[in-house]
Amino acid sequence: MPTDTPRHSAHDNTIVLVGHGMVGQRFLEAIAARGLTDTHRVVVLCEEPRPAYDRVQLTSYFAGRTPDELSLTDPEFIEKHGIELYVGDPAESVDRDAKTVTARSGQTFAYDTLVLATGSFPFVPPVPGKDTTGCFVYRTIEDLLAIEEYAKTYATTGAVVGGGLLGLEAAGALRGLGLATHVVEFAPRLMPVQVDEGGGAALLRTITGMGLTVHTGVGTQEIVATEGAVSGMKLSDGSELATDLVVFSAGVRPRDQLARDSGLSVGERGGITVDEQCRTSDPAVYAIGECAQASDGRVYGLVAPGYEMAETVAASIATEESSFTGADMSTKLKLLGVDVASFGDAHGATPDCLDVVYSDSRSGTYKKLVIGAGGELLGGVLVGDAESYGVLRPLTGSVPPVSPEQLVLPAGAGGPVSIGPSSLPDSAVICSCHNVTKGSIRGAVTEHSCTTVPEVKKCTKAGTGCGSCVKVLGQLVNDELEASGVEVDKGLCGCFGQTRQELYEIVHTLGITSYRQLLDSHGRESARGTEGCETCKPTVGSIIASLAPTIGADGYVLEGEQASLQDTNDHFLANLQKNGSYSVVPRIPGGEITPDKLIVIGEVARDFGLYTKITGGQRIDMFGARVEQLPLIWTRLVDAGFESGHAYGKSLRTVKSCVGQTWCRYGVQDSVRMAIDLELRYRGLRSPHKLKSAVSGCARECAEAQSKDFGVIATSSGWNLYVGGNGGATPRHADLLAQDLSDAELVRLIDRFLMFYIRTADRLERTSTWIERIEGGLDHVRDVVVHDSLGLCAELEALMADHVAHYRDEWSETINDPERLARFVSFVNAPDVPDPTVSFVPERDQMKPDLPLLTIGSRPRDLEGAASR
């Protein structure tokens, strides 16, 4: 999309940029910032059919981000600076004597300065069958579109060759497409470049626990074809793997052929050799990004070094002093939902260094810090919990203010110690993507009057790369504002200046029963009279539901105004699934169920064609229900004695249990009875986030109680109560709150704990995060809940007693009310018409969503509007 009228005369210097990826776009921004687009003609030759996009976030396409949302190119930027951008027209040859570049279209461009940003290409091992139909690489948006289309029609199983960063991202994509997925890695562990043996083991346990099959220490020998398409793989250990689709993600190689053909110097193992100014063997030609071999002999495969190279070349063209001598290879990623980070000397190559390691194989957490002989932090590896990466990486090279052990241990075991980002030196690099220091961030606040994170992002570019520093960035901005005497707005959102905890107290104290009443009386002036926003509406709805019996509100979530406050799942009392269908999850307290009720579940699933799954929470989920089928299904379930399992709500999900002393020879207490009692007591309890629990009948811990928001373990003298645990993307072991409790003492402490959490937690804050955030941590919680240090316990117990006394099953009430049933339609103007976009295909004697998946709205839609899509 070249500009119609060039802004420069024929006598202007011309910069030709070959390649328009992330690094190429950064180069354009760097020369524009220096005013070079006003004095130079700028021509960009882009091979891909679209301008620069965020390749780091490529896999997010499968999570719903569109190619337009991934774009890094603002058309207004291109037009404003008179940049001539030719998309889909790559450079074919360079004549260095004539100083011209010829594009595929046949156009020839003269240059004064040539910048090569051709990037890299995926390495495909030279195995027989590598070009068979069904083989793909994972590099561009077009690659992803092709994989998605092929998987939709021809594949049920996929295999990824390569277990590095991109390989695991590709595996996540195949898994998201519904394929049984294998990962084949020649090295003895996953991510061999970034993590050590211990980190690789933790990553392997977590990934295999997600259902992926990993083959390490083996290579691919041959791609097997049947009727011209992939049907399997032969591995180096003699085994064979049946698969319909293969993705090669075994690393990348510099794209240096254009440079080779023009006679430029290249490295022995590839890469255009450059000096510290990123200048090639021809002074008029520069190379940046993954196509370049830096002066230290390395080819850098991360975007942050490429950005530094782009800045270096822009500075050199502008005759500024700048050099590129190497870069920080630290990285933090979330692969398959697992946090993985490495920084500094992660493998301990420094002489006389020591390791400090914390490993919890049960939760999939592994942390290793490499410490130098003088006590300085040299590097580290974090798997499963990389929360501290934002502070640890800037500390690299210095002696931490606390012992290394305190930096890796979890809360309740001597750590974690809160080393706030404010304690870091100004020279510490907070955003490695854009090389932004803490001092620059502070300067944005104090010198450029930035008062919000978005303003600081715009001013410094911090947080606009991979995004791993955004949390630390927010803390720094708030700390700097407070240090300057500026009051920091800690309000819930643009509608309310109060925190969630403050809104809870207002609703509780004043007996406010509606969102509108609260917004008009306590909302910001600018928000009064508006409809509110998507942040505060579900938050206030949850608070009112939690306090409903006490304040005299109707606790039914779909009653009147409350219905409009709910998100998609609560709105239909079911979880929305990928293809627009819903799940049906009846409550099965403690996992105990009669044969008659099992038969009813089987009959319902059979009659409505639902996919059935026994989950880790000891209940049976049924998937694939259309919205108009939900009342019919629940009528039969309620008649059989079932009630809502609240799988859709921010409320109690399950109380898992082992079989306890009734059956188990090791059991010392009746864990099933206790689990049922607790689940029936706390069912329907609305809270800031979902709640999970478990009861184990002995110390063998078969119910996994220490990974739950509140967990109970039997002892010979009673019960031990653990709080603040969770699994998920950031696992956390629960902390012991009290021990050897009687039944009555146990229930009383759980009542207090849950109500104190509901009263003081932030929106969407799990108990694990709440305990680590709240001032005083676990000790404070214990003082309040066990020792009644604030004199609140009687009130907390009364609030819970109100909840228990007024509990009503939401589905029982719904199916008996015609007005409430009226909402369960796909189209408001054609209530009898099922949604035509919800379709299924058979798999393993059940049904699964037909792919590709469509994004379905969160409310009943208009039929004509849906058909137009």
When pLDDT is cut at 50, 70 and 90, the band that residue 102 belongs to is very high
For the chain, report the end-to-end CA distance as a whole number of angstroms.
28
Alpha carbon of 618 to those of 327, 659, 699, 844: distances in Å? 49, 12, 20, 22
Q: What is the Cα–Cα distance from 438 to 257, expressed in whole angstroms? A: 40
Of all residues in the chain, the percent with pLDDT exceeding 90 is: 50
Contact call for residues 492 and 500 (beta carbons, < 8 A) = yes
Contact call for residues 768 and 709 (beta carbons, < 8 A) = yes
CA 62 to chain centroid, in Å, comes to 13
- Which of 403, 405, 466 has the alpha carbon at shortest distance from 430? 466
Confirm whether pTM is higher than 0.85: no
Provide the H-helix boundaries in 484-594.
500-510, 515-522, 536-551, 561-565, 568-571
Query: To which H or E segment does residue 224 belong?
Result: strand 220-226
Beta-ladder partners of 355: 370
Q: What is the Cα–Cα distance from 104 to 267, expressed in whole angstroms? A: 26
What pLDDT sits at residue 727? 77
Architecture (CATH level 2) of domain 567-644+812-869 = Alpha-Beta Complex (3.90)
pLDDT in tens, 125-157: 999 999 999 999 999 999 999 999 999 889 999
- Which of 590, 628, 580, 592 has the alpha carbon at shortest distance from 608? 628
Which carries the bigger pLDDT value, residue 753 or residue 398? Answer: 753
Please state the rounded mean pLDDT for residues 628-635.
93
When pLDDT is cut at 50, 70 and 90, the band that residue 419 belongs to is low
Residue whose entry in the numeric block shows the structure tokens 């200048």: 279
Q: What is the Cα–Cα distance from 468 to 389, expressed in whole angstroms? A: 9
Instruction: Return mean pLDDT, the chain.
Output: 86
What pLDDT sits at residue 488? 73
Pick the CATH number of 420-486 from 1.20.1090.10, 1.20.120.720, 1.10.10.1100, 1.10.3720.10: 1.10.10.1100
What pLDDT sits at residue 818? 86
Of all residues in the chain, the percent with pLDDT exceeding 70 is: 91
Burial-class residue 518 by CB neighbours within 10 Å (0-12, 13-18, 19+): buried
How many other CB atoms sit within 10 Å of the CB of residue 764? 15
Q: Between helices 777-785 and 743-760, what is the axis angle to 10°?
A: 120
Alpha carbon of 186 to those of 129, 182, 219, 836: distances in Å? 18, 13, 5, 45
**How many helices (H) and strands (E) in the chain?**
29, 37
Q: Encode 262-274: b = buried (16+ Cβ within 10 Å), e = exposed.
A: bebebbeebbbbb
How many other CB atoms sit within 10 Å of the CB of residue 9? 7
pLDDT at 579 over 90: no
What pLDDT sits at residue 79? 92
Instruction: Using alpha carbons only, give the angle 604, 607, 612 rounded to the nearest 5 degrees.
Output: 55
When pLDDT is cut at 50, 70 and 90, the band that residue 868 belongs to is very low
What pLDDT sits at residue 431? 81
Tokens of 339: 């946090």
What pLDDT sits at residue 730? 65
Q: Which of 67-81, 196-210, 838-852 has the lowest average pLDDT?
A: 838-852
Please state the rounded mean pLDDT for residues 402-406.
81
pLDDT at 593 over 60: yes
- Max mean pLDDT among 395-409, 649-663, 722-736 falls in 649-663
Pick the CATH number of 13-121+254-317 from 3.50.50.60, 3.40.50.620, 1.20.1250.20, 2.40.50.100: 3.50.50.60
What pLDDT sits at residue 67? 86
The phi and psi torsions of 636 (rounded to 5 degrees) equal: -70, -40
The phi and psi torsions of 65 (rounded to 5 degrees) equal: -75, 135
pLDDT in tens, 82-99: 999 999 999 999 999 999
* Pairing verdict, β 84-87 and 213-216: unpaired
Which amino acid does the sequence have at 792? L
Torsion, Cα 407 409 411 414, to 10 degrees, reads -90
Instruction: Using alpha carbons only, give the angle 324, 325, 328 rounded to the nearest 5 degrees.
Output: 95
CATH class in words for 652-805: alpha beta
pLDDT in tens, 42-65: 999 999 999 999 888 787 787 667
What pLDDT sits at residue 568? 62
CA 499 to chain centroid, in Å, comes to 25
Contact call for residues 339 and 729 (beta carbons, < 8 A) = yes
Q: What is the Cα–Cα distance from 201 to 181, expressed in whole angstroms? A: 19
Q: What is the Cα–Cα distance from 768 to 783, expressed in whole angstroms? A: 17
Contact call for residues 643 and 811 (beta carbons, < 8 A) = yes
What pLDDT sits at residue 103? 96
Contacts of residue 278, Cβ cutoff 8 Å, sequence gap at least 6: 286, 287, 288, 292, 294, 309, 312, 313, 316, 324
pLDDT at 415 over 70: no
pLDDT in tens, 252-272: 899 999 999 999 999 988 999
Q: Which of 19-23, 101-105, 153-157, 203-207 has the lowest average pLDDT?
A: 203-207
Q: What CATH number belongs to 135-250?
A: 3.50.50.60
Alpha carbon of 283 to those of 6, 10, 112: distances in Å? 26, 22, 10
Please state the rounded mean pLDDT for residues 332-343.
75
What pLDDT sits at residue 728? 66
Residues of the chain with CATH 3.50.50.60: 13-121+254-317, 135-250
pLDDT at 11 over 80: no
Q: What is the Cα–Cα distance from 494 to 523, expressed in whole angstroms? A: 9
What pLDDT sits at residue 434? 77
Please state the rounded mean pLDDT for residues 443-472.
79
pLDDT at 449 over 70: yes
3-class SS at 568?
helix
Residue whose entry in the numeric block shows the structure tokens 């932030």: 762
Q: What is the Cα–Cα distance from 811 to 639, expressed in whole angstroms? A: 11
Please state the rounded mean pLDDT for residues 467-488.
76
What pLDDT sits at residue 334? 64
Q: What is the Cα–Cα distance from 322 to 580, expressed in whole angstroms? A: 54
Q: Between helices 515-522 and 536-551, what is the axis angle to 10°?
A: 110
pLDDT in tens, 683-700: 999 999 999 999 999 998
Q: What is the Cα–Cα distance from 109 to 45, expressed in whole angstroms? A: 10
Q: What is the Cα–Cα distance from 215 to 179, expressed in whole angstroms? A: 17
Residues of the chain with CATH 1.10.10.1100: 420-486
Please state the rounded mean pLDDT for residues 511-524.
91
3-class SS at 671?
helix
What pLDDT sits at residue 88? 94
CATH class in words for 330-418: alpha beta
- Which of 133, 356, 113 has the alpha carbon at shortest distance from 224? 133
Contact call for residues 396 and 474 (beta carbons, < 8 A) = no
Provide the H-helix boundaries in 683-826.
743-760, 767-773, 777-785, 793-805, 810-815, 818-821
How many other CB atoms sit within 10 Å of the CB of residue 7? 15
Q: What is the Cα–Cα distance from 606 to 620, expressed in whole angstroms? A: 14
Please state the rounded mean pLDDT for residues 367-393.
86
Contact call for residues 378 and 371 (beta carbons, < 8 A) = yes
Contacts of residue 561, Cβ cutoff 8 Å, sequence gap at least 6: 514, 515, 516
Residues of the chain with CATH 3.30.390.30: 330-418
How many other CB atoms sit within 10 Å of the CB of residue 278? 29
Q: Which of 280-284, 372-376, 551-555, 858-862 has the lowest average pLDDT?
A: 858-862
What pLDDT sits at residue 601? 95
Q: What is the Cα–Cα distance from 832 to 843, expressed in whole angstroms? A: 28
3-class SS at 617?
coil
pLDDT at 365 over 70: yes
3-class SS at 613?
strand
pLDDT in tens, 702-759: 999 999 999 999 999 999 999 999 876 567 889 999 999 999 999 999 999 999 999 9
Alpha carbon of 796 to those of 26, 749, 752, 757: distances in Å? 55, 10, 5, 10
- Which of 402, 462, 475, 455 has the alpha carbon at shortest distance from 429? 462
Residues of the chain with CATH 3.30.413.10: 652-805
What pLDDT sits at residue 863? 44
